Homo-oligomer: A and B are copies of this chain.
């Protein structure tokens, strides 16, 4: 449903949401360890997100990654679409070209509206929303 890469990306962004701001930038190598993702790999993903303005960064001494207000207001779906493309998440359970409510594939009913609900949630939930949940211990990230 989600690739490993977008899972990693989401974890990294959430970590930044909790621990960074413009005056508290974080090095790629210092994100890698707490979210348990290889250093060079998470760097690559963050670069991709940075190119799409989903995370902020500055280079040079005192540089690093962080989330600004705009980044925090972005919805989760943007991260997934940048990393996975928009097809993976939305294709039918049997990858049929023509599968919809009126012309469902055999598995369609088994999934019900579960999947479209999930996508809608990704579309309306922001990074900030999830960060608040984490801060209030309504959800948990570690290992």
CB-contact partner of A106 in B96, B98, B118, B139, under 8 A: B139
Q: Decide: B97 and A143 in contact? CB cutoff 8 A.
A: yes
Q: Decide: A141 and B106 in contact? CB cutoff 8 A.
A: yes
Q: Taking the full assembly, how many copies of this chain does it contain?
A: 2
Asked if A107 is at the interface (CB within 8 A of a chain B CB), the reply is: yes
Q: Complex Cα distance A117/B115, Å?
A: 11
Chain B residue, CB-CB nearest to A116: B114
Q: Give residues in A with beta carbon < 8 Å to B.
A: 1-2, 4, 7, 10-11, 14, 76, 93-98, 103-112, 114-115, 117-118, 121-122, 125, 130, 133-134, 138-141, 143
> 5 closest pairs, A vs B, by CB?
A114-B114, A110-B121, A1-B1, A106-B130, A106-B139
